[in-house]
């Protein structure tokens, strides 16, 4: 019997995770069975328990269950603890469940390892203060950046996230509404808002990027996202979407389960070509 893994979400049909993990397994010469589970919105816990009772070894968790997964586990990594959300479930040898969150390390590795962004000394802006922003906070603050500013439409939520970040790191973290960004310059602007789902870009100043500054959209799509286009139109040296982050978060889950870190470049290229 191949070792069983799956991604659980609702909806789930669109998930690329089975394709990504099948590619990792093939590359590493491992035999795994990685499926999709349409989670019950009213009884997520029962779906998880059934999967592990039937011998499953690990689950990826996606929308809308990441917070429920956080509440369900027996123990959590520090980055998952602060994220308030879990995207990777690992069954421990004693049968207890451990929750981790690989989204933030996926973001940092895509920028630093795949694209060569230098976090050391960088002034970074995180747009958004919802689940996506909170999910990447700890790895972002551990990346070597000099200062993080969190800006959100609802400034109060940005302040809450900044307090959370300050509690888990010695890196300076500031917060504001979008109007507070006037006159500010950043080496990297990361979009973690969901504005792009409706083709919108947060109302940010046109001169937000420092010379040589980059933009990164945590969303991705077959066409350049609205925020990628904003970056291109406003002088970004690099304007990246979140496809690499998707593959990198999967690679970190694979490593947690299998003890091997797969190469990601060829998988990113395969998905890009399939778009
Ligand atoms: P997610 O899990 O995608 O982060 P969320 O927790 O609902 O979803 O958070 C959505 C984020 O996108 C929030 O930061 C939200 O801003 P508010 O906190 O003010 O609601 C932001 N957002 C959504 N639509 C937006 C828009 N059109 N312009 C700017 N920000 C937007």
Binning pLDDT at 50, 70 and 90, where does residue 1 land? confident
The catalytic position among 8, 25, 36, 66 is 66
What's the average model confidence in pLDDT over 31-39? Answer: 97
233 assigned binding-site residue: no
Domain 104-241 homologous superfamily, CATH: NAD(P)-binding Rossmann-like Domain (3.40.50.720)
Does position 275 have pLDDT exceeding 80, yes or no?
A: no
pLDDT of residue 88: 98
pLDDT of residue 157: 98
Helix axes 265-274, 243-258, angle to 10 degrees: 130
Closest residue CA from atom 6 of ligand 1: 130
Residue 159 Cβ < 6 Å to ligand 1:
no
Fold that domain 3-101+245-274 belongs to in CATH: Rossmann fold (3.40.50)
Domain with CATH 3.40.50.10860 in the chain: 3-101+245-274
Residue 130 Cβ < 6 Å to ligand 1:
yes
**Class of residue 21 by CB neighbours under 10 A (exposed 0-12, middle 13-18, buried 19+):** buried
Domain with CATH 3.40.50.720 in the chain: 104-241
pTM: 0.97
Residue among 21, 15, 13 nearest 258 (CA): 21
pLDDT of residue 191: 98
The values of phi and psi at residue 202, to 5°, are -55, 150
Residue 205 Cβ < 6 Å to ligand 1:
no
């Amino acid at each position: 019997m191949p070792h069983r893994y799956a991604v659980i979400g609702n909806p789930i049909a669109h998930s690329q995770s089975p394709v990504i993990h099948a590619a990792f397994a093939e590359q590493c010469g491992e035999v795994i069975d990685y499926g999709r589970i349409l989670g019950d919105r009213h009884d997520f816990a029962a779906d998880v328990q059934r999967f592990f009772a039937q011998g499953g070894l690990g689950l990826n968790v996606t929308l809308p269950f990441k917070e429920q997964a956080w509440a369900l586990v027996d123990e959590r990594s520090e980055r998952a603890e602060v994220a308030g959300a879990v995207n990777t479930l690992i069954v421990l040898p004693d049968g207890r469940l451990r929750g981790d969150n690989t989204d933030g390390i996926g973001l940092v590795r895509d920028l630093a390892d795949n694209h060569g962004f230098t976090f050391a000394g960088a002034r970074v802006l995180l747009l958004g203060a919802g689940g996506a922003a909170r999910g990447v906070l700890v790895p972002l603050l551990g990346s070597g950046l000099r200062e993080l500013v969190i800006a959100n439409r609802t400034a109060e939520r940005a302040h809450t996230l900044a307090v959370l970040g300050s509690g888990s790191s010695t890196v300076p973290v500031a917060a504001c509404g979008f109007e507070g960004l006037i006159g500010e310059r950043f080496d990297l602007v990361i979009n973690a808002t969901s504005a792009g789902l409706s083709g919108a870009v947060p109302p940010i100043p046109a001169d937000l990027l420092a010379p040589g500054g980059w933009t990164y959209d945590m969303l991705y799509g077959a066409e350049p996202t609205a925020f990628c286009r904003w970056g291109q139109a406003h002088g970004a040296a690099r304007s990246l979407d979140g496809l690499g982050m998707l593959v990198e978060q999967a690679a970190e889950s694979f490593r947690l389960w299998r003890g091997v870190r797969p190469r990601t470049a060829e998988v990113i290229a395969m998905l890009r070509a399939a778009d």
